[in-house]
Structure 1
Amino acid sequence: MVIYTVTVNTGKRLSAGTTSSISIQLRGTEAESEEQILNNLNQGSESTFEIETRKSLGELIAVKLNFKQLGHLCNEWFCKKISVNTPEGDNILFPCYRWLDCGEILVLRTAQALLVFQDRTEGQRHRTKQLEKRQELFGWRVYDQGMPQIIDCDDESLLPAEVRFSFTKSVEFFSTAAKQFVYQMVNQLADNQNSWESFRTLEDFYSGIKNETIEYVKEHWDEDEFFGYQYLNGFNPMMIQRCSKLPENFPVTNDMVKDSLSGSSLEQELKKGNIFLSDYKMLDGLVGNVINGRQQYLTAPLVLLYCNPQGKMMPIAIQLKQKPSKENPIFLPSDSKEDWRLVKIFVRSAEFGVHEVDFHLLRTHLLAEVFTVATLRHFPSPHPLFKLLIRHTRYTLQINILARNKLISADGILSKYAGVGGEPLVYFLKRATASLTYSALCFPDNISERGLENVPNYYYRDDGMQLWEIINKFVAAFLSNYYKQDDHVQKDTELQRWISEIFTNGFLARDDSGIPSSFQTLEELIKFVTMVIFSGSAQHAAVNNGQYDFGGWMPNFPSGLKKPPPKEKGQTTEDTILETLPDKSTTVNIMSILSLLTNDSADYYPLGYFPENLVDEDAPLKLIEDFQKNLSKLSDRIEKRNEKLELPYTYLNPKNVGNSVSI
């Protein structure tokens, strides 16, 4: 007889333990053990068991867990990991880190990472069975033609336990939403469809909100300097690009802007590279939503900006519609204060549309869902890319199902209170998908394409570039540990099916997107995986975490506008502006959702945090340690810089970057 000593670790999270009957079986290359019942699987416990066998099982390749349902009582179990001391003196780790449902049978592989062609025959059979089961659980569905496909599940409670929220996050998420609703009702504004009587009344409403950035925005939102600053370091630093030649449909003349150009001319500043453009043409032709029975008005502005000698980005001309005409004048800072304020409000409302639908929903949430589903369907647990990417998929499926049910459904918040909600959202999302490119998702390429390499005070670029480099360096070293040559990339059938499905179901097989449909080299793979991790972590943080800070003060981020844009100059009054801005109901409901979407839960995982011990080899463990050190150094540099800034840029501090799209 020989003895195997088995140590079982139950998670510390709430309700992780179970009193249900769970059996364990060891599987080796030469034999299998009898099933043995596990006891005392309490929350946070570490339990040790002995399993006797007649002879050695050979090399251990798997552990089978059988969650037997006895009667009607059955509670889930969160298993962290299982380790086995063999008679030969080896200690073998079997990572789990997931919930087990009643009646479920789960087979765990060792922590050793193996590509499919490196695995033994028994291991390949297990890989195939695991992926067949996963592909049954995680199917694709067409949400609407012309959009990325989604998980085939309408109810987050029906998701497999392994990808659902923890109990802690669920309680916090819904209690936060309830608090926001109560706050609205106490102020009796949730259903109040009246316009704000004055800016003073609006300011009084905000007097009880304690948020330093909202206070700053409230004080500076109407200033041109802050308007331009937000194109660089607000919650959507993605619109601005260098302008070397004015678009034909934006006939700005030197006489119009010469007073804004520090004694220079428009032609000279264009040549110097100091003129920038934000073009909202993606919104052109969209008819606004109806909110509280009132038609909303969308515009597709062109905004010309000048980076002055002091390094400040200043707006110098705005045209609210794409087609120039007498009824679509070009507005200037020299126009009346009310005209210029209203025109900037229309731009900020357009910003709401492009930010929420394109840069936030599509480029982070929906793409992260594509990457998550493909990863679960095509990478078995021993695959090095499963071990690398799985932490970057945490909670993504559930948060996206909640978004579809609570935000963009027929009765969702955005459908009810956003000018670009409802049918306009669907049309816009299809446009954004059709124009999405690989280079737009790769941070260095995107910065270069927009001509922003040398713009001063662009903290999003500075921090993002360093984060991309740190992630890229880690990914390159990690993958090079397993793919020793390009031939290994080409031979990895699981990898090739993964990228093929992403290309087909996520990017709709668009060759013009630049997204690869297969990988031929390790270099190609490294870049793509860097993009996947960056999109779901850093980029999501950049466009998500500042929504309430910069958008909480409603005039800076109006979700819809009740009056059409001005057709001539000199007609705008403060009353006109107040009648154009969202009503009280829309204001508080959008505020509530922005607050909810920027609240992290107690079980928040920052980038670089590896609570799941999925590998036990020295090389990847050292790479993880180096990755964490580099992130910590970057965090220190950002915090030191921010000490000198009037308004610190914190969204790409690694401490504030989540590992995944989970909110």
Structure 2
Amino acid sequence: MPLMGPDLPVLPPHVGGPPPPHEILEQPSVEDKEAKLSVGIEDQTFVDIDPGVFDNELIKLKLYATVDPDHPEKDAVYQDGNIVTGTYSGTQAALTHLYRRIERSYESYFDVMQFEPTLPRLIKVEQKQSIYRWSAYPNNPDGTLAQYPPHLDIIPKEDQVSANEIFGWLSLKETQLLVAKLVPDTFKGKTVDWLQSILAEAIEGNPMNGTLRQIEEYNRIHRKSGTDIEGGKNLGLLPDWFSDRRFADQSFTGTNPTTIKVAPKPLLVEFIAAAHRSGDEDWAELLQLADPSTLFVQDARHLRAAMGAAETETLFNKEPLSDDNWACAAVVLYQLHPDGRLHPISIVIDYKGTMEKSVTIFNKRKGPLDPTTGEETDYPWRFAKTCAQVTDWIRHEVIVHLTLSHFVEEALIVATHRTFSMNHIIFKLLQPHWFKTLSLNAAARATLVPQVIKDLVGVKPDYLFQYLRSEFDEYDYVGSYVPNDLERRGFPNTVEGLADQRYRDYAYAKDVLPMWYCIRRYVKAVISTRYTTDKDVQADEAILRWSQEVQTSGHIKTFPTITTLEQLYDALTMSIHIAAPFHSAVNYLQNFYHAFVIAKPPSLCTPLPNSLEELKKYKEADLVRALPIGRQRQWLLSVQVPWLLSSKVASDRNLVMFAHSQWRTLRDAGDAEGRKIAAASKSFYDELKILDVAFTKNSNDMNKDSIPYQVMDPDNTAVSILI
């Protein structure tokens, strides 16, 4: 007689059977413990700092805020403490610990203020409208330009005494000051000694040959441990990290695979003319004969206009705590070959209105299969690729990641709160994909951007915030639906079209399109519990108010005025897409591609060459001087930011576990709607598991020795913007 009934839960087959008795009774290894004795206290990995030790040190160094107990609503006052000297590892651990605490402070405030309550409270729409207030945009009440796009206004009104007291006690206004104070004025220790020693060779005029190799070696041995999906690995561990192949592949599978597009004809005309001017007649002829549909660009020509800078203005910035930094608006032309390899043809290192006014260099290698023997020492071309990476760093971090992911989603969250009841099917559909996003964004606005990002980039703060606002204002919500986005950028927008060998290396596109349709089918199944015809949609006034709220107060002018089921499915799918697969794709690979600073620096440390002739004279020393080697604070923050933002999604916060959790909760629901949503969740789960296999096949199908692309695997895709 069987001991278990057929309906009782059992472990899945891949888990295996119970462990044998000898494994349970096996004693720990004394040898393993003894081996650890060789690790002295000075060599122990220092990732985080003990909370009690951290508190004691801040008090000792006078790095704390004082709140007036009689008037806690007034700004807290920081003491005049400062850290003069510190180590890289200690500062990294302290910054990580501090930023996590800042996030928790905002979470606490958002809990008390009911923005993101720890336990849900059923609040009527009218009440939510008084809680979820919009920040002023595009101008502040005093007439000055708002720094950020419309977001949740977390600053209490003057008549909200209790709220102001809470805000004061948490010292939320002052947290940004502490980040700056926590970074030492100077550094000591092994890392800084090594950086200074190799930089000294350049200062003293000694040959710089091998300097970049030394950095590669240091990265192999002393890189920062990682909690990201790549387990701390980074691009610099590959011997060909600087190659055309690794450079080009990032447009398909790097941190920003979302902006490469087919080259506009006027731009191709400019490249052909530039080839004639530089004597690269082979390239001029090849470009004239090439199929235009195979020519793609990473195009930042608009960057100066978006920032409000003059057409030929030098992009430069010097903050009180930073060194001299330069930025650029690079344009990169690629050719996509029939075997799927993307090859860089030419780079405009800084586009200034026209290519005639700019420096444009062409690749010596005509195709991806050309010999690679000269790549490492082709320093003019390597400098040009570095310029392109600097451009993409700011474009990715400030626009694609921060603005088009975090801030667009926040506008949708606030608008949804203000228009739908908590029992509305649309609210219930979207709410799980907002977990902690509002408090996370508030912390980023208070600390990450004003105290870190602006010190790393080579543009003035006013230009930085104008760039952010401009891209938000120009955002095309409907045009950014995945099928529409692929089509407007010159790629097939069907799974069948992307199956062509030409697109085998564009794993982002091959993953994100079926993921879009998977989410859309789930959305449709859930929404169909309430709406079955277009008239049902039109009869719900809350949907019209939602559209108007997003378009007006949220300032996403291209958000659709929803009157049909198809429009509703797409708009809701887009909201989940931004929060889950899109954000995961542009966020969780940052440590792999950015932590090896010389591969993707946030800015240049020297002015750009003014002519092609000047660029062609570049040697290794010139490239090294343009990189933040020896810049202690910049190097530290350039490593720390991607490490901080790339922590792997917790196993219970991915899309698969969300679908499973919702199914288990609702499968025995007493109402028909709940059971239908449970069925939709099961289908969603089943499809995600199938996609998990398909995405692995997509990664394996890329050209040999491609970097595996796993960031959008459903087990890695966060359910919301969690970091």
TM above 0.5, yes or no, is yes
How far apart in 1 are the matches of 2:484 and 2:135? 31
Whether 2:602 is the aligned partner of 1:559: answer yes
Structure 1 residues 265 and 204: CA distance shift in structure 2, 3 A: closer
Identity of aligned residues (%): 24
Whether 2:192 is the aligned partner of 1:153: answer no
Whether 2:449 is the aligned partner of 1:430: answer no
User: How much has 1:239 moved relative to structure 2?
Assistant: 2.1
How far apart in 2 are the matches of 1:448 and 1:609? 32
8 Å Cα contact 1:190-1:588 kept in structure 2: no
TM-score, length basis structure 1: 0.71
Code of the aligned partner of 2:131: L
The within-5 A match list for 1:171-182 is none
Q: Could you list the per-position Cα deviations for residues 161-188 of structure 1 after superposition, in whole angstroms to 9, with x for gaps in the alignment? A: xxxxxxxxxxxxxxxx99999xx87656
- Which residue of the partner structure matches residue 507 of structure 2? 459
How far apart in 2 are the matches of 1:199 and 1:493? 62
- Which residue of the partner structure matches residue 625 of structure 1? 682
Whether 2:290 is the aligned partner of 1:269: answer yes
8 Å Cα contact 2:129-2:418 kept in structure 1: yes
Code of the aligned partner of 2:363: P
Structure 1 residues 391 and 179: CA distance shift in structure 2, 3 A: farther
How far apart in 1 are the matches of 2:255 and 2:181? 25
- Which residue of the partner structure matches residue 448 of structure 1? 487
User: How much has 1:587 moved relative to structure 2?
Assistant: 1.9
Code of the aligned partner of 1:270: D
8 Å Cα contact 1:283-1:298 kept in structure 2: no
Question: Where does the alignment leave 5 or more consecutive residues of structure 2 unmatched?
Answer: 1-107, 140-145, 164-179, 201-210, 226-230, 310-314, 366-376, 493-497
Structure 1 residues 492 and 330: CA distance shift in structure 2, 3 A: same
How far apart in 1 are the matches of 2:268 and 2:353? 10
Structure 1 residues 150 and 482: CA distance shift in structure 2, 3 A: same
Q: How many residues align?
A: 518
8 Å Cα contact 1:195-1:578 kept in structure 2: no
Whether 2:266 is the aligned partner of 1:220: answer no
User: How much has 1:641 moved relative to structure 2?
Assistant: 4.2
How far apart in 1 are the matches of 2:666 and 2:301? 46
Q: Which moved more, 1:574-583 or 1:340-349?
A: 574-583
SS at match of 1:558: coil
How far apart in 2 are the matches of 1:191 and 1:200? 13
User: How much has 1:189 moved relative to structure 2?
Assistant: 4.5
Whether 2:347 is the aligned partner of 1:318: answer yes
More helix by share: 2
- Which residue of the partner structure matches residue 83 of structure 1? none
Code of the aligned partner of 1:366: F
- Which residue of the partner structure matches residue 559 of structure 2? 515
Structure 1 residues 380 and 480: CA distance shift in structure 2, 3 A: same
8 Å Cα contact 1:387-1:614 kept in structure 2: no
- Which residue of the partner structure matches residue 656 of structure 1? 716
Question: Where does the alignment leave 5 or more consecutive residues of structure 1 unmatched?
Answer: 1-74, 79-96, 101-105, 109-128, 161-176
Q: Could you list the per-position Cα deviations for residues 186-243 of structure 1 after superposition, in whole angstroms to 9, with x for gaps in the alignment? A: 6564999999463244234422225574156653231111111111111101221112
Whether 2:654 is the aligned partner of 1:606: answer yes
* Counterpart pick for 2:430 among 382, 386, 389: 389
Q: Could you list the per-position Cα deviations for residues 601-647 of structure 1 after superposition, in whole angstroms to 9, with x for gaps in the alignment? A: 64751014334647932211101110011001101222244356531
SS at match of 2:265: coil
Whether 2:439 is the aligned partner of 1:419: answer no
How far apart in 1 are the matches of 2:423 and 2:678? 16
* Counterpart pick for 1:494 among 542, 545, 557: 542
8 Å Cα contact 1:153-1:159 kept in structure 2: no
How far apart in 2 are the matches of 1:575 and 1:526? 55
Q: Could you list the per-position Cα deviations for residues 251-274 of structure 1 after superposition, in whole angstroms to 9, with x for gaps in the alignment? A: 32576666569xx83223134x21
- Which residue of the partner structure matches residue 36 of structure 1? none
- Which residue of the partner structure matches residue 134 of structure 2? 140
SS at match of 2:302: helix
- Which residue of the partner structure matches residue 295 of structure 1? 324
How far apart in 2 are the matches of 1:185 and 1:389? 48
8 Å Cα contact 1:413-1:590 kept in structure 2: no
How far apart in 2 are the matches of 1:326 and 1:204? 40
User: How much has 1:153 moved relative to structure 2?
Assistant: 1.1
Code of the aligned partner of 2:569: I
How far apart in 2 are the matches of 1:290 and 1:240? 30
User: How much has 1:373 moved relative to structure 2?
Assistant: 1.4
- Which residue of the partner structure matches residue 250 of structure 2? 230
How far apart in 2 are the matches of 1:329 and 1:370? 40
* Counterpart pick for 1:334 among 341, 364, 378: 364
User: How much has 1:536 moved relative to structure 2?
Assistant: 0.9
How far apart in 1 are the matches of 2:237 and 2:488? 30
Q: Could you list the per-position Cα deviations for residues 136-182 of structure 1 after superposition, in whole angstroms to 9, with x for gaps in the alignment? A: 22211126547531111159xx999xxxxxxxxxxxxxxxx99999x
The within-5 A match list for 1:53-92 is none
Q: Could you list the per-position Cα deviations for residues 321-380 of structure 1 after superposition, in whole angstroms to 9, with x for gaps in the alignment? A: 233466633201229811101011001000011111111111100011111112222222
* Counterpart pick for 1:568 among 612, 633, 644: 612
Code of the aligned partner of 1:333: N
More strand by share: 1
How far apart in 1 are the matches of 2:193 and 2:525? 52
Q: Which moved more, 1:437-446 or 1:231-240?
A: 437-446
SS at match of 2:271: coil
User: How much has 1:433 moved relative to structure 2?
Assistant: 1.9
Structure 1 residues 215 and 222: CA distance shift in structure 2, 3 A: closer
Whether 2:299 is the aligned partner of 1:305: answer no
How far apart in 2 are the matches of 1:499 and 1:401? 24
8 Å Cα contact 2:656-2:715 kept in structure 1: no
Code of the aligned partner of 2:262: R
Code of the aligned partner of 1:133: Q
SS at match of 1:151: coil
8 Å Cα contact 1:258-1:266 kept in structure 2: no
8 Å Cα contact 1:244-1:270 kept in structure 2: no
* Counterpart pick for 1:634 among 691, 694, 698: 691
How far apart in 2 are the matches of 1:651 and 1:416? 29
